[in-house]
Every structure is written in structure tokens, then in C-alpha cells.
A and B are shown apart, each in its own frame.
Chain A
Amino acid sequence: MELASGESLAILGPSGSGKSTLLGLLAGLDVPGSGTVELQGRPFSSLNEDDRAARRGELCAFVFQSFHLVADLTARENVMLPMELQHRRDARARADAWLERLGLGERLQHFPAQLSGGEQQRVALARAFAVEPALLFADEPTGSLDHANGARIAELLFDLNRQAGTALVLVTHDEELAGRCDRRLKLREGRLDE
């Protein structure tokens, strides 16, 4: 399978079908037993772990079902984190700007435990888009949210994706959410069907 720049792809499938494993392989969090993954035309899955991490930090971003914010860092620091890992000098300014843009300007110094689920996921979105990724991986991004918050996060995700021209890989159960993607792949018994 191939994914073009700016394209959005939904991966659908029942629980246990291997959606998350596929996402892990694509993001270089795991390496395939056979086959290869290439990123921007260059080998990715054949790199060593540290090089994959560095390349992932440079080109990819993530939004997880359970937000995965670092509990010990404030909202601002969580957004700054991937940029700091890239040694970007404007990390703080960009983090503030993105949080402001997502309506969290008043919550910069709050820790994740002090934020609601919707707010935490918005921090996660800010963290993802602040690094201007070429590729965004979203794993059930609305799975832990109520309907209203879920809808709002989905709206934001697709808006930001469109504006930034980021390629999106979305893993979901939600047919409606998948319907908003350019392409849909169904994973069933280890096979991908378009």
C-alpha cells in the first residue's frame, strides 16, 4: 500500500484484527517480519531503533485514543515536548500559539489531570500539529470521548489536516469517521481490502 502526501487513509476492522499492529509497523514502532516500510521514498523499517525514532520525531505525529499526555508536564510542556526533542528554538512560542488556536490559552500551565478528556485530546492535537508533521497517525482519536466532544475533535482533526496538508492514517471502528477519509482500507483476517 502507498499513501501520498496530504492524503487521508482510514483503516477499519473489528477488534483484534491487527489495526494497531499495522499502525505500529507504519509508524516504525515495530518492524515487519517480512516486507518493508518506506517514508518519503527512503527506507524506514530497515533503520535501527534510534534512527527510526529520530526520523519519526522529524516527520510523524500521533493522536492516541487515551491521549497519552505526560502526566508530569503541563499542557504547554506536553506540546513543546516533540519540538524540544527536535531542538527547535521556537518550541515554546509555537506551543502557546497552537494551544491558543485550540481554545486552551487559559490552560497552558495546567497538568493533564486538571483537564477534561476533550481538553486533553485537544492538547494532544496541538502536540501533533505543532511539529508540522508530514504524516499523522491517529489511533481511535475519539474513542475515549463522549459524542459531542468526539465530534468536535474529529472536526478539528480533519480541518487541521486539510490546512496543514498532512497525510493522515486513521485507525477507527467508526464508519462515519472513516467516511471522511480519502481512502478506506478494511483489515480482516490479516488481509487489507480497499
Chain B
Amino acid sequence: MNSPFRPWRDSVFRVLALSVMLSAVALASVVLLSAELEERFAIHTAEALGGELVLAGSSPPTESQREATRELERARITDFATVLVEGDETLLVSARAVDAAYPLFGELMIADERFGASRPQQSGPPPGEAWAAEQVLDQLGLEVGEPLRLGRKELEISAVIRQEPDQGAGFYSMNPRVLFNLADLEATGVLGPGTRVEYRLLLAGEPAPLERARQALSEDLRPDQELETLEDAAVRSMGPLRQLTLWVSLAVLLVTLLCGAAIYLASSQRVRRRARMAALLRSFGARRRQVLTRLLGGEFIAILPASLLGSLAGIGLILALRGDLGREGGLAADPGDWIVILFGPLLLWLAFGLPRLTALVRVPAMQVLSGRSEARQASLTLELAAALAAPVLLAALLTGSLADLGQLLLLLVAMAVLLPALFWPLLLMLDRGSRRLALPLRLAIRRLSRRPGLTLPLLAALTVAMSVLGLAGQTGNRLLDDWQHRLPERAPNFFVFNLFEEDLDTLSEWLERHDGEEQPAYPVIRGRLVEINDTPVRQALTKYDDRAERTLNRDLVLTETEQLPPSNRMVEGEWLPGRHDHEVTVEEQIANSLELDPGDRVRFVSGTRTLEARVTGIREVDWDSFQPNFFFIFSPGSLDEHDRTWLTSFWLPPGDGARLAELVRAMPHMSLLDVNDMLDRARGIIAQASRATALLAVLLMGAALLVLAAALLSGGDARARDNALLRTLGARRSLLRQVEWLEFTLLGLASALAASLIMLASLWPLAQRLFDGELPWSPWMLLPAALGLLVILAGVTLGRTARRQPPLTLLQTPD
């Protein structure tokens, strides 16, 4: 009885179905894109961590732990510090023994000679060989091809290691790396009792076995062991990536709201069409429930294929576009995402369309049959509740939490409710003022003002879309720009350690000769924190903190400087107010872990000397900045009595390695670290993020315009009838065109103007918070105007069908 094809005969249903279909396309593509980006971030995080799950401990994993990870991909590494001796030279290195499965994520970058080009490598050195960092070669005077003695075993240096995928940001505070095969570890005999060693079991796999392994391992942890997860690694909290995720979530939310508005508008029209049928059924004695079941049941069955088709189209779109995102293999979406993709559009239809459709049974049948009612009165409370709940629910499903989106969501909902309330009096004023206006303008204004049920949601939807798109583009673009500014073309691509004071001039001269660019040099000493406020540090801490523990167990690189380094910002206290008075500022996160506040006193031991200072301030440090960054910065003069070396960075234009060899020969005691590969990698991430943002913006704009088109089409019936009547009464086509241009110009202009005002109002506080009070002017500010123009063009194009309605239809179709 309820043929799924019957409703398709009605043009309004086709519009409604198109809205649902478009929402499905948008939802599927945005959700999948979001999942792809998340996956990319997860891979990025996994690369930084070494695996999706890492079991670390001071002795190897137990048999039961190995058994618990049997279903997963595994790689074993053993990290320890050891001293290498070569002739008279000694050097403390970070040695790492790896098995054949290492690395699980990312790749190693190695070079065949000291200043040679880097190339990627999917696994570590074979047995009998070692890869050494540049500093190792420089400090010990070794070259590739020569033997390196590690304990009792001699290994051949077969490559220079430039970059490891799981290399942390603090690369210059780490001892230089020697990488060799795990098979050689025992033969070196370096691991004796008391050696500081860390056994790391890197794990990767499908979510379910991974979760099983996590459960099992966390119940079976020895006291010396630690289980690191992707969430712990928190690389995703890195500024720009986090902003991008938030921007994706915002896009999803916006698309949801837009589609909701379109479904609402189309459903209103559908109700007008179906009112007669509902009234007839009721006049035949059907109960409300029967009417609803019959009409809505059929509607639902007919909507299903539209929704499914839309989802499939969205999936197809992402499959086609994902190559651009540099991803291969299966789609990244999880079951939750698939639920949203498949049921999201139906949920939207229920929330935005159903309350309208229930109006079918609210109006007395006789009123409808006698043509005295348009059956438009739905329950406003029900409509509002459903319309507000659906996007909230979807956003919650999509983002997993409302914490990040909470404020944004509130703002959007406020706009969706407040905007119509603000536009309504304006529309009324325009209506009143139109009485004496010329016919085309009056007709255009009346089409808007006399259909507030269509005009107000449309205006609100357009305004929200334009302003949010503009804002997201503006801030997203600005943040990407900021990120790019941190990595300018001449970002330092080499770091130098162990310089003596007298080397600084030599380095400057050498840089000048080779068109290089100097960066500030920092005097550094290595020191271990021993006391806070004259209390031994472990007693001073009131709670266990992993970061604090790691900080206390190693020497920190301490520096002094007069100027606050560029990638630092004071968040509490003052920047070294006294000078020469043994003052220190502390990095924010380490200060939290060590429970340090301005006014506290800290004592370090460096060699045989101690260094005491009063904490005057807490600094926020941008760790992504590729600048030398420090946990503790002392006032100038504090390190005078210590054996200081210098640390600096510089930019050197690309060229042959001979220049660098000359530098190393001039200062054989220094360490030179080439970070070109790391810079390239960071620039690659920026490029990918830019592409993803642009793609998302295009998708969102497309969705907004398509949904707008659906909304405009839904009012097409009345428009076509009026046009036919005007033609019958003698109007030329040019008049109809004129009216339409004026109507959509008013619509586009009003929404673009409101969106621009909202953008300005929102950017002001944002500018205060993010961009030091400077209002970030950019071409994005013109986006509402451009979208307004698109609205006009889309409206006029869509109006063409209604304009072409032959006048004869007036005689053939009853009202």
C-alpha cells in the first residue's frame, strides 16, 4: 500500500528527499574526512610514540605479557646510555638496539656519508652494523665505513642517522644516538647490573585486539613498567593540529544545522501538499495515529533510499579525494562514525521534519477541506526542542565530547534562535515601508516579508553559514599562517652544541662567508635539580608526577639570557626583574609538575658546583618553534662561575657538504646537528593541513549552497503560481526576472551584511585573545559578500523553473 515510489511523484517530496540526500552526502563526506584527519593525527602520534601502545620497563616484558600481545604487530627496542671511547676521546651516547620490525610507524632517515643526502629506510641496521648520529662521528673523529667499538663488540658504521620517527622535540638535550641490531646486544656485554636501561615493546594493530592487550597489560604491570598510549602521548594537543580538528568538528556541526534548516523548509511545504490527504483520511474516520502511520510511514520508507544514496555518494567522494590526503588502505571511520553516516540524515529528518509533519493531524479536517487553513501550525515547543536536540546529539556523537564544542554550539544555537528574532522586526519594517515602492521592488520585498516561515529560517541559516565559514576560514587560515611563520624559509636548519666562547666569532665569520644566517647563542651548563625551598626535591613534591620523575632523573640544559626568547611568553610573575641576583624563570608545564611558583627557591648541582636561584616567573614555551627552548632560564651572570659551553643554531643555504666539513675541522670539539629533514617533514605536515582545510572549506561551501538550493526550491510552488498569474495579467518576462533579482539581492545582501557584522563582533575578542589585539584583516572578511553573491546567483538560477511556468497552469490546477 505504501509504495516507496509514490511520494516521489510530488515535486516537494523530491526536494525534501534531495535535502536529506544532500545532508547525507555532506555528513558522510565530512565525517569520513574528519576520521581521515584524525587517523593521520593518530599515525603522527603513533610515529612520535613509536607504536599505538608501548610497554616500557627496566627489564624485558614477562612471558605472560608477551603472550597478551601475541595478536599485535610488535617491535622490540632496548635503550641505554653508554660511553664510547675512541683513542683519547670519550662520548656519552644514547644507544638503541632494535629488532627487524622497528620502526612500526614512519621511517628512519639516514645518509651514506657525514654530509651526504638523506634517504628513507624502513628498518634498522642489520647485525654487525651500526648507524651513528653526526655528533658521534664529529666528537670521536670517525667516518662511515670505520669500526665503532661498543663494549666488547666491534660494529661497522654503515650510515649516518639523521632522523628517527620517534625522536622527541628535545633533540638537543638528548645524547647523540647510536643505533644497532638487537641481535648484537648480548655480544656487546654492556648491560650489566646497575646499567640504566629501558626495554620498550612497541605495539600496533586493530582497535579491538589493541584494547584487549591494553586491558591485559595494565592489569599485569610490574612496578618498573609503564604503559604508554596514544592518548597519553597527547601529540594531538599540539596547537595547529588541534585547531584543525576543532575546525573539522565545527564544519560538521554547521553542515548539520544547514541541512536541518533545509529539511524544515521542505517539510513545511510538504505539509501544505499533504494536508488535504490527511484531512480526507480523518474525515473518513481515521484516528490521528492511523493518519500519522499511513502518511509518515510511507514518507519514511521513501526517504530511506535517498538517505542511503546520499551516504554512498559521500563515501564515494571521500574515496576519490583521499589520495590528496596521502592516505591508502581502508577508510578510517569507526563504528560510531558509520552510525552517524547511516542514521544521521534520518535523525535530522526526524528532528527537523517530523514536528512539521505532525501538524497534519493538528488542524481540523474541515478547515483544510474547505481551503481555510494551510495546516501550518505545528507545536512550536516540540519543533524547537527537536531542532535544538538533533544537532547537539549529532555533535556529541561526532566529537565524542561536547567540551570543545560546547561554547561554539551554544553560540550557534543562540544565533539560530536570536537571528530570526532580530530579523523579524526588520522584515516587518521593510514590509510597512514597501507600500509606496515601485511594483518590482514591492513584489520582491513582499515575497520575503509575507513568508516569514520561509524567509526567517533561510536568512538565519545563510547568516550562520556565511559568518561561521568566514570566521573559520579567517582564524583557521591565520593559525596556519602563524604556524608557517614559525617555519620561515630561513628557519635554522643546523644546531650547534659544545661551542666555546672563543668559537662564536669563528662561527659568525664562517656563516658570513657562506651566506648563512646567525641566531642568538646561549651559554649552557648541565645541571640536576636537587632542592626546592631548601628541601630535597623528592620530599618537596607532594604527589607523584611522571614528568617530574623524568626531569629529576636527568641532567637538564640550563641557560642564562637577558632577553625573553621569541618563542616564549610570560604567563605568571615577571621576566628576571632583578638581574645578577640569581633569578630563574621556569617553563609552565615543568613548573606544574614540580609544583613551582614564583618566589620558590631552586638548587641545582652542576659538576662540583651548585647553582641557586629564586623563581620570578613562569613561561609558556612554543615547543613546535624549532628554536632552542629551555625549561630553566637564569638571569645573566648566574652561570659565570660554571664551565659554560655555547649552543646556537643557524640557517645555511643548500649546498655541498664541503663547507660543513670545513667548519667541523675548524672546531673539532663541537657537535653539529642537521635538522633539514625534520624541517621538511614539518613543512610537509603544514602543506597537508592546508590542503585538508581548503578541501573542507570547499566541501562546506558546496554543502551550504546545495542545501540553500533545496531550501529555495521548496518555496517554488507559490512562486510559480504568482509568476503565472503575473504573466496572465500582462507582465513581461523581464518584470519577473527583475522581481527575482531584487528578491535574492535583498536576501543575499541582508545575510551577508549580518554575517559580516557577526564576524567583526566575534573577531574582536578573538583578536584580543589570539592575535595581540590586532584585528586580523584578510580576504576572508570578504567571504560573506562573495557568498551573498552566490546566493543571488543560485536563487535567480533556481527561480528560472518557476519563471517558466506556463500561465495556462492557472486554469488547470486547483489552488
Contacts and interface: CB of A to CB of B under 8 A. Distances in A.
Does A associate with B in a complex?
yes
A119 interface: no
Instruction: Give the top 4 A-B pairs by smallest Cβ distance, nearest first.
Output: A57-B730, A72-B446, A66-B815, A72-B450
B446 A73 contact: yes
A77 B438 CA distance: 12
A86 B446 contact: no
Contact of A29 (B446, B732, B733, B808): B808
A24 interface: yes
A72 B451 contact: yes
A72 B447 contact: yes
Nearest to A57: B730
A53 B815 contact: no
A20 B446 contact: no
Interface string B689-733: 000000000000000000000000000001001100111111111
Contact of B815 (A29, A57, A68): A68
A72 to B, nearest CB: 4
B808 A24 contact: yes
Contact of A81 (B727, B729, B812, B814): B729
A67 B726 CA distance: 13
A2 B218 CA distance: 99
Contacts of B371: 117, 144
A172 B774 CA distance: 74
Contact of B811 (A71, A86, A139, A144): A139
A186 B450 CA distance: 42
Name the residue in A24, A30, A82 with the highest tally of chain B Cβ atoms < 10 Å from its Cβ.
A24
A77 to B, nearest CB: 7
A72 B728 contact: no
Given A29-B808, A70-B443, A81-B729, 9 more contacts: A27-B728, A50-B732, A53-B731, A57-B729, A57-B730, A66-B815, A70-B725, A71-B718, A81-B726
B422 interface: no
A107 to B, nearest CB: 16
B731 A57 contact: yes
A85 interface: yes
Which of A65, A67, A84 gathers the greatest number of chain B CB atoms within 10 Å?
A84
Nearest to B734: A50
Given A64-B811, A70-B725, A71-B718, A86 B730 contact: yes
Interface residues of B, number: 31
Contacts, number: 84
Contacts of A23: 811
A68 B810 CA distance: 8
A72 B443 contact: yes
B451 A50 contact: no
Contacts of A77: 442
Contacts of B442: 73, 77
Given A85-B439, A85-B735, A53 B730 contact: yes
Contacts of B443: 70, 72-73
A68 B450 CA distance: 16
Contacts of A139: 811
Contacts of A68: 721, 725, 728, 810, 815
Contacts of B721: 68
20 contacts: A20-B812, A24-B807, A29-B808, A29-B810, A30-B808, A50-B733, A66-B815, A67-B815, A68-B721, A68-B725, A68-B728, A71-B450, A72-B446, A72-B450, A73-B446, A81-B439, A82-B729, A85-B726, A86-B730, A144-B371
B732 A30 contact: no
B806 interface: yes
A54 interface: yes
